[in-house]
Structure 1
Amino acid sequence: MSDTAQAAPPDAGAPPRTGHWKLIGPGIVAAATGVGAGDLVATLIAGSRFGYALLWAAVVGCIVKIALAEGSARYHLATGSTILDGWRSLGRWTSWYFGIYILIWGFVYGATAMSATALPLAALFPFLPLWAWAMIAGLVSAAFVALNRYEVFETVMKLLIGVMFVIVVAVAIMVLPNVGAALRGLIPTVPAGSAIYTLGLIGGVGGTITMAAYGYWVNAKGWRSPAWMGIMRLDNRVAYAVTGIFVVAMLIIGAELLYTAQIALTEGDRGLLDLREVLADRFGPTVATIFLVGFFATAMSSILGVWQGVSLLFADFVRNIRGGTESREELTTSPAFRFYLFWLTIPPMALLAFGRPFGLVVVYGALGAFFMPFLAITLIWLLNSSRVPKEWRNGWLSNTLLGGAALLFIVLSIAEIARLITG
């Protein structure tokens, strides 16, 4: 593999005066990565239990994610440094926390992502067992990320999100949504027993650690100066508008297909296989098979996005720890990037055979619960400081949205820790 093959696009210079819509891409990558199979099931279950009542929460969640992703990318463009550089400037504690978190997270997430991608493959092509499809998905994803430039990666991600968007929205239309009830669902209400689902819809769908990777994908696109701020914001808003439509479509499916019939789904990724059976009964096997293709596109976009984006974060983390001088263009050819691809793919295969050890799951859940508050609070800290030129610091709206996100994720983290303790 040559350095030329992995080189990032050159600095794009000044943005063009027209054709901004054609440039959209990094936000689509971030949004596609953040919406996984488990998120879809959580949205479906919310719809199946509470109908349209929590539709407003899905919309608020997209607004929160727009603020977080915009803050991450704004730091990159305004300062010319990376979010890892910013965290390190806040103290060595950030490196200790992030280093421990990213290693444990990658080990457990690797198995989870490979299993999620294998579920629709095993259902479509049952001649191989689930664990074999999981290993194939991991190895193919690692090879693809290692051998392809950002432009190819972005194109494939756009294709995957296009497939899953069209299929999910088409199914939502087929179930004949109740427009009046949907509009009433935009009025904030919290039905009895829905508090955790409400918080989960706001905070859980659309990305966690991968939101910190958005700035790296913006840079990989060639956007590397404040001149690109407007286009980055357009890119980010369009991407999360697409995510919002996608999440609303899943909630409609849950409300119309499951809530009215009082059908329960299995928790986790396997709930989408339950939905396939419901779709087969209602619309026939062809629609059910097409839905499995959308399920695969959803899972595959997440695994590719994590393999590329979180490996970039790890490579930059190692650069910061070592005090290295590598440019952002060289991160994807660094030994640290390749090591993390290996770490996401090979060691987690042991978990496919033996299950996830309870102690590791507890640590993973605890650290994961605190990552989003960490991201929101550190963005507030960085974007209100002298590290950022005055014109690109937070205004009242950014501070309000990021502050609200921090409070939300603190509540979610407390709920997650309580769940881990009580089992």
Structure 2
Amino acid sequence: MTAPPAGSVPEAQGLPDTPPSGLARWKLVGPGIVVAATGVGAGDLVATLVAGARFGYALLWAAVIGCIVKIALAEATGRYHLATGSTILEGWRSLGRWTSWYFGIYIILWGFVYGGTAMSATALPLSALFPGVLPFWAWGALSGLLGAAFVLLNRYAIFEAAMKLFIGIMFVVVVGLAILVVPDVGAAIGGLVPRLPDGSVIYTLGLIGGVGGTITLAAYGYWVNAKGWNSPAWMGMMRFDNRVAYIVTGIFVVAMLIVGAELLNAAQISLASGDRGLLDLEAVLAERFGPRVATIFLIGFVATTFSSILGVWQGVSLLFADFVRNLRGTHVAGDRSDLETSPAFRFYVLWLTIPPMVLLTLGQPFALIIAYGAFGAFFMPFLALTLVWLLNGRSVPREWRSGWLSNILLALASILFVVLCAHQIWSMI
């Protein structure tokens, strides 16, 4: 396996010759922010709120462990790209043709379901912010079209800047809410001690596995390369970027759990299932703190859902474009310079946008929510297990293979996601 050809990443113009150190590293942080912002969707916020509402601060430790698991998974993906000069799709293909069948069928079906879910989730706060201006389906379609246009017309550097803006809005709004509700610091510290209240096992597993964990974790290596990091020399920078991103995500998750514990737990307020639970929270905020705070929350809600649209439309389309290129077998290993301009990339962006609009007319039916949960459950076990396989194989130079800590975390992630997948299937039955 060879390193990417020189000049394969146009966005790398202006990149320093050697990775920076010290405070200079902060200027290059970006791909991790993108993958974290994409992975935290409205459903994750509801799950965290519900955990806080039902169990107070008791599951705070699970949120922290969840961020550690995501750091390990994203680091593993980025390490594979940098250490081998190959992409994760090339790695999967080296494991056998079954991976192509699995991933190819999965990404087509998942894209259709996720497209409708993501556009529907963005339509919810927009409809609440501008009641009566457009019908629900029109807000969803508009958000999808805007996301598609932005991704197709801009390269990675502009995309990263937009994602940083959205996660900044999300962070300020959610952390601001956590401060506003006046957290119980003593109880929060006590929540860092692992314990399982009655009936909390599945909530705990979901909290560990859900927040910031989606198919876009597999896109992290592509965003790392798009940044211009394409050799083992950038390994330290990649790891720093990844840790910063998920520490920010950890603060974000803890803040949401605080809001659930302080605002909903004490008052015994329950939320609606799915993304609509955030509209229930908006009503609670309006009653408790006034319409201005509720409006600010809805803006944060929009930033959360639309950043997921942008991240998936860009990142998963890169995965699909690389999948098609590997299927044809005509590319140079490690060369990903033309992925964003390929017909396959454009096709998948439109696949995420146009066909799922049919689902918007149904107003996010229960069947759509179930289907999305089922499809989502099947990818993370695949990612975790194949990363264990690849990063202990001969294709990875010995010095960059997984050590004991990485292997333990990836093995725990594999077990966790297999259990969550089995639970999802069982709940459907």
TM-score range with shorter-chain normalisation? over 0.9
Pairing 1:85–2:93 present:
no
Within 1, Cα distance between the matches of 2:11 and 2:330?
18
Task: Please name the residue that 1:375 is paired with.
Answer: 383
Pairing 1:318–2:321 present:
no
Question: Is the CA contact (8 Å cut-off) linking 2:60 and 2:192 kept in structure 1?
Answer: yes
Within 2, Cα distance between the matches of 1:159 and 1:363?
31
2:154 aligned partner, one-letter code: N
Pairing 1:16–2:20 present:
yes
Once the two structures are superposed, the pairs formed by residues 8-407 of structure 1 within 5 Å of their partners are: 8-10=11-13, 12=15, 13-18=17-22, 19-126=24-131, 127-325=133-331, 327-354=335-362, 365-407=373-415
Within 2, Cα distance between the matches of 1:231 and 1:26?
11
The CA deviation at 1:84 is 0.2
Pairing 1:411–2:426 present:
no
1:9 aligned partner, one-letter code: A
The CA deviation at 1:337 is 0.1
Distance 1:272 1:364, change over 3 A: closer
SS at match of 1:53: coil
The CA deviation at 1:324 is 2.5
Within 1, Cα distance between the matches of 2:228 and 2:423?
40
The CA deviation at 1:357 is 8.4
Within 2, Cα distance between the matches of 1:383 and 1:49?
39
Within 2, Cα distance between the matches of 1:395 and 1:151?
33
Within 1, Cα distance between the matches of 2:278 and 2:367?
27
Within 1, Cα distance between the matches of 2:398 and 2:224?
21
Aligned Cα RMSD in Å? 1.7
Question: Is the CA contact (8 Å cut-off) linking 2:274 and 2:369 kept in structure 1?
Answer: no
1:197-226 superposed Cα distances (whole Å, 9 cap, x missing partner): 000000011021000000000000000000
SS at match of 1:269: helix
Distance 1:269 1:367, change over 3 A: closer
Distance 1:37 1:362, change over 3 A: closer
Unpaired runs of at least 5, structure 2: 1-6
Question: Is the CA contact (8 Å cut-off) linking 1:101 and 1:368 kept in structure 2?
Answer: no
Within 1, Cα distance between the matches of 2:274 and 2:374?
18
Question: Is the CA contact (8 Å cut-off) linking 2:317 and 2:345 kept in structure 1?
Answer: yes
SS at match of 1:15: coil
The CA deviation at 1:118 is 1.1
Q: Could you tell me the TM-score, scaled by structure 1's length?
A: 0.96
Within 2, Cα distance between the matches of 1:261 and 1:314?
46
Within 1, Cα distance between the matches of 2:102 and 2:369?
17
Unpaired runs of at least 5, structure 1: none
SS at match of 2:330: coil
